[in-house]
Amino acid sequence: QVPLVESGGGLVQAGGSLRLSCAASGRTFSNSAVGWFRQARGKEREFVAMIYVGSGGTAYADSVRGRFIIAGDNAKTTVYLQMNSLKPEDTAVYYCATRRQGPYYSGSSYDNWGPGTQVTVSS
């Protein structure tokens, strides 16, 4: 397994933007599917977005569709999550992981989780 590392979190005002990165630590994602999830304090982890690195196919949670964009770089070493029009309810620790099998929106379908990066949106 290739350890994943998230970065790019921080504090931003409502309406602002952040770009998160998920790196494969020196290796490529090949044709894997990579997902972003988030967990707010006191809440369960929830699906945010997923990309098939090989084909570029994507899926989004309803709560972020139209505001967030998931994309991969040409080298297939990094997956990005561009977050626009951020809201206070987007505040959470954001994680990336590699999908193995099962529904794309279920955390149990993924492994190789990174340590997460905190995103805080102030009102």
Summarised one tens digit per residue, pLDDT across range 5-28 is 999 999 999 999 999 999 988 788
Q: Does residue 2 surpass a pLDDT of 70?
A: no
Residues 6+ apart with CB under 8 A from 78: 21, 22, 23, 24, 72
User: What is the per-residue pLDDT for 29?
Assistant: 87
**pLDDT tens digit string along 21-49?**
999 887 888 888 999 999 999 999 999 99
User: What is the per-residue pLDDT for 74?
Assistant: 87
Average pLDDT in the 93-109 region? Answer: 95
Residue 111 is inside which H or E element, if any?
Answer: strand 110-111
